[in-house]
Amino acid sequence: PQAIHLSDYRPPAYRVTHTELTFELDPSATRVKARLHLERHPEREAGEALELDGEQLTLKSIALDGQVLGEDEYRLTEQGLRIESVPASFLLDTEVEISPEENTALEGLYRSGGMFCTQCEAEGFRRITFYPDRPDVMATFSTTVVGDAASLPVLLSNGNPVERGELPNGRHFVTWEDPHPKPCYLFALVAGDLNKVEDRFTTMSGRDVTLQIWVEEENLGKTDHAMASLKRAMRWDEETYGREYDLDLFMIVAVNDFNMGAMENKGLNIFNSAAVLTHPDTATDAAFQRVEGIVAHEYFHNWSGNRVTCRDWFQLSLKEGFTVFRDQSFSADVNSAPVKRIEDVSFFRTAQFAEDAGPTAHPVRPDHYIEIGNFYTLTIYEKGAEIVRMLRNLVGWEAFRRGSDLYFSRFDGQAVTIEDFVTCMAEASGQNLDQFMLWYSQAGTPEIDAHGEYDYARAEYRLILRQRTPATPGQSDKQALHIPVRLGLVGTKSGRDLALTLDGESLGRDAVIHLREDEQEFVFTDLAEAPVPSLARGFSAPVKLNFPYSREDLAFLLANDSDGFNRWDAGQRLALLALDDLIAAHRNGVEKVMDNRVVDAFRTLLTSDTDDKAVLAEMLTLPSEAYIAEQQPLVDVDAIHAARQFVKQSLAVTLRDEFLAVYQANLDDVSYAPEPDQIAARSLKNVALSYLMSIEDEEGVALTQRQFEAEHNMTDVRHALTLLTHSSRDDLADPALKAFGQKWAHDPLVMDQWFSIQVSRPQADALERVKFLMDHPAFSLTNPNKVRALIGAFAQNRVNFHRLDGEGYKLLADVVIKLNRLNPEIAARLITPLTRWARYDETRQELMKAELERIRAEDLSPNVYEVVEKALA
C-alpha cells in the first residue's frame, strides 16, 4: 500500500454538480444505477482523463451522454474506472452490482440483521458506485430506493421524500431529494422493517421540523432520551452559535452493526444502537450522558462538517475537533460543567497522551497516511477539540463567535481547510495566530517544566517555564509552541488567590500567561505572602505540566484552590506521589506503608459539607491504573494494581464509617431520571460503595448484594455487579453473573455490559472467560459492539491482558488476524494495546512484538498493515 501526501493535493479534474441514484435492493445482488452530471473543474486543463473511484463493484453498463461505451473506451482497475477522453460537461450513466450481505467490513452498503444500511465516511461510497469519492466534490442528490414492500416497508435516504409508489412483484419505491450540495461521504440509505417515534421542533426562524427516530420494534421504548437530547441540542446550537436546522425532516436510525458511534449523514444520521438507545433498566448514567453527547455531536455536524466540509481528509480535525469542542461545551452546559471537564481531561491524559507517546503518534493535521480509516483518532478528535478550546480562550468567546459566524457564512457550501477556520478567528479577533498553527502540524505532547521562587524581601514570585516536545515518528525537531497557561497564585497564609501584577500590569486574580519561547520567566510583583502556584487551570493547554510540588503544597491546593479542576488535579497528584512510593515498595518487596496525608485529605473531603456531590465523587476516585501507568517510566502492571488496591483498602479500613455515612446519605428511591443531581448522588454513593466493598467485610458485601438485588436502575445494578464480579469471592461473582445473564439474555446492549464486566475482572481466570464467552450465543465476531465488549474490554484488563505467559497478547492477535479479513477498520483499532510494547519490561516487549510479527506475516488489509508497520518500525 502507498502513502498519500497532503502536499500532493490538487482540485479534482471533474466535479459532479448533481447525482441521481437508483437502488434495487437485494441481499446478494443489489443494482445501483448512477447518473452523474459532470463538468471540468475551472482550475484544471481541458483534455484530462476522468478517474472515478470504485471498489468491489461489478460494472453492468456504462454510457456517456447517452452513448453506450465500448470496452476500449474505458478502463477498469482494482481502484476504479478511467475514461481517457471526455467533454467539458457531460452525463455519465453507470449500472453496477454489489453484494450487501457479503459486506462484513460495514463500509458502503451492508446488511445489519434484516435491514440494509450504509456507512460512507471516509471512503465507503466507492463500494456503492463509481464516483469521485473525495470530500471536495459536492453535489445535490436525488435517490430512488426500490425494495420488497413486505420485508422492507421503510425506505430512507437524505433530504425530503418527494415521491413514492407501488411496483410490480411486491416491490415499492421512494424517491428522496437532498437540495444541499454534499460530498458523497454524507450519503445514506436505510431500508428495513422499522418503526418510528416522531416529534416536532420549531426553529428560531419559526420553521417546523419533523424529527424521527427509527428503530426495530423491540426498541420503541428506548428512544425518549435521544429525542429529548436532540431537541436540546437543536436549541443550544441556535442559542449558542446562531445555527438553525435547514431541512424539513431530521431522522436518526439505530442499527446494531456499526463500526463507530454514529454518522452525521445529511438529514439521516445513522447510529450504533449503543449510542442512541437508553432505558433506566438497561442503560447507566454514563450511557445516558454518552447518548446525549453523541446525538448532539452528530446534529452539530450539520453545520460544522456538512454545510462547511473538509477539502481533503488531512483536514479531518477541521470538522471533528470543532464538533467535539461543540459537543463538550453543550454537555458542560446541560450537566455539571466541572465534572464534564474532569472526565474529558482524565480520559484525554490517559488515552491521547499514550497515543502521542506511541508509534502511531501523528499531528492533528497529518501530512500523510496510508489508510484514512486509521485516522479517526483521539488526536484528531480530542486534541483537535483542545486546540479549538485554546482558540476560544485566546480570543475570548465573543470574538470566537464572530469568527465562527464568519467561517460559516464565508464558506457555506464549500470544502475548506484548517487555515480557513483559523484565519476567520484571526480576522475576527485581530490576533496573530501564526505560531499557534504549529499545534496542528506538530505531533507529541509538549511538556512544561515549571519552577518558582518567592522572594520575601522584594515581595516577588519568579515563575520559570520551560517547554519541550519530545520527538515523535518522522518529527525529530520540534519548535516552541504558543501555550496559554491559565494560573493563579494561592496565598499560603490567606488561602486566597492573590492579585497578579506582571510587568506593572494588573491581571486580576486568575489570568492567562503566554509561553511562546523555549524558556520564559514571569515575575509577579507586589505579593505580600508566599504563594503556591495553581498552574494550567482547567487544563488550559493539552500539555504535561511538571512542578516540584511537595505533598504539603498539594494538600494545600486540594483544600484551597479556587479552581475546581485544579483542586481535583491536586488530589490526583497527591495520590500519584503516594502511589509512586507504594509501587516502588511492591517492586522491592518491602512493606507498604500508607501516606497519612492522603488519608487526611480524604477524611476532610468525606466530612466536608459540599453541595457539589458530582465533583466530590471525582475527587474521591483514585487515578485509574491506566493513568498511573502513563506516569511511570516503565509500566509494571502488577505493582500498579497492587499499589492502587492497597491505597483503596487502606482508605476503606481507616475511613470505613465515613464512607458508610456517605453511602447511606445518598441512597435514594425516587424514580430514576438521568438528571445532574440524581447522577451526582448516585456516583457519590457508588464511589463510597467501591471502597466499602474493597475490604469485603460483611457489611460492604451485604450492601452491594442488596443494591444488586434491588434492581432499581442499571447504574446501581451494574456497579454492584461489577463490584461482586471483581471481588475475590467467586461465590459472590458467579450467582450474580448468572442471574444477570439470564435476565438480560434477550437484550444485546445489556449483554455487552455483561461481557465486559466479567472479562475485566482482576482474577486470574479472565482470559479463560474470554475464550469461553467467545462461544456464547450472544457473541459474534462480525458485530463490532460484541468485539469491543469482549475482546476490547479484555485488552484493557491491565493485569490479565499482560499475563507473563503471553496468552493475552496471543488471543488478541488471533482475533486481529480473523478480523483483518472480516472488518479491517475494527481489526486495526484492536491492535492498539500491542503497539504500546515499548512501555513494558523486556519479557513482555518480546512477547508483544512476536505477536505483531505474527500478524505482519498475514496477507494484510491496508488498515492493519499501516498500524503494524508503524508499531514495528
Identify which of residues 541 and 816 has a Cβ nearer to ligand B3K in the complex. Answer: 816
Nearest partner of 718 among 384, 392, 280, judged by Cα: 280
DSSP label of 247: S
Site string for ligand B3K, 320-359 (x = CB under 6 A): x---------------------------------------
Other Cβ atoms closer than 10 A to 534: 24
Cα atoms in the Cβ-side hemisphere of radius 13 Å centred on 172: 15
561 binds, among ligand B3K, Zn ion, none (CB under 5 to 8 A by kind): none
Closest CB to ligand B3K among residues 135, 538: 135
Choosing from 292, 298, 371, 497, the residue that interacts with ligand B3K (CB under 6 A) is 298
Query: Is residue 540 a contact partner of residue 486, using CB atoms and an 8 Å limit?
Result: yes
The residue whose Cβ lies closest to ligand B3K is 121
- Residue of 34, 81, 122, 513 interacting with ligand B3K (CB under 6 A): 122
- Distance CA(330)–CA(809), nearest Å, equals 39
The site map against Zn ion for 306-325 (x = CB under 5 A) is --------------x--x--
Q: What are the respective helix, strand and coil percentages of the chain, to the nearest 5?
A: 45, 20, 35
- In sequence order, what are the residues at sequence separation of 6 or more whose Cβ sits closer than 8 angstroms to the Cβ of residue 516? 435, 480, 481, 482, 483
Out of 20, 24, 121, 216, the residue judged to bind ligand B3K by CB under 6 A: 121
**Binding flag, residue 553, ligand B3K (CB under 6 A):** no
Q: In whole angstroms, what is the distance from residue 486 CA to residue 25 CA?
A: 57
> Catalytic: which of 121, 216, 298, 386?
298
Give backbone dihedrals phi and psi of 256, rounded to 5 degrees, phi first: -80, -30
- Does position 625 interact with ligand B3K (CB under 6 A)? The reply is no
Under the binding rule (CB under 6 A), the answer on residue 133 touching ligand B3K is no
Secondary element (H or E) of residue 681: helix 676-694
Query: String of b and e for 803-816 (b: at least 16 CB within 10 Å)?
Result: beebbbbbbbbbbb
Cell (9 digits) for 265:
449523514
Please say if 298 is a catalytic residue: yes
Smallest separation (angstroms) from ligand B3K to the CB of 115: 19
| Distance in angstroms (rounded) separating the CA atoms of residues 75 and 88 | 20
Beta strands in 230-365 (DSSP E): 249-255, 262-263, 268-272, 309-310
Residue 118 or 566 having the CB closest to ligand B3K:
118
Query: With CB under 6 A as the contact rule, which of the stretches 254-262, 782-790, 805-813, 843-851 interacts with ligand B3K?
Result: 254-262
Restricted to residues 59-98, the positions that interact with ligand B3K (CB under 6 A) are: none
862: contact with ligand B3K by CB under 6 A? no
Nearer to ligand B3K, 348 or 376 (CB): 376
Closest contact distance (angstroms) between CB of 302 and ligand B3K is: 11
The answer to the question of residue 292 lying near ligand B3K (CB under 6 A) is no
**Which one, 123 or 320, has the nearer CB to Zn ion?**
320
Q: How many residues bind Zn ion (CB under 5 A)?
A: 2
Query: Could you give the strand order of the β-sheet that contains 139-148, starting from the edge strand earlier in sequence?
Result: 67-68, 58-64, 89-98, 30-40, 14-24, 139-148, 171-182, 160-167
Residue appearing with cell numbers 518491602 = 590
Residue 122 interacting partner from Zn ion, ligand B3K, none (CB closer than 5 to 8 Å by kind): ligand B3K
Determine the size of the site formed for ligand B3K (CB under 6 A): 13
Binding segment for ligand B3K (CB under 6 A), chosen from 171-179, 296-304, 496-504, 804-812, is 296-304
Judged by beta carbon distances under 5 to 8 A according to partner kind, the member of ligand B3K, Zn ion, none in contact with residue 121 is ligand B3K
DSSP category for residue 382: I
DSSP 313: G
Q: Say if strands 460-468 and 519-524 run parallel, antiparallel, or are unpaired.
A: antiparallel
- Among positions 510-539, residues that touch ligand B3K (CB under 6 A) are none
13 binds, among ligand B3K, Zn ion, none (CB under 5 to 8 A by kind): none
Q: Which stretch binds ligand B3K (CB under 6 A): 234-242, 261-269, 531-539, 786-794?
A: 261-269
List residues near Zn ion by CB under 5 A.
320, 323
The catalytic site residues sit at: 298
List residues near ligand B3K by CB under 6 A.
121-122, 259-260, 262-264, 297-298, 301, 320, 373, 376
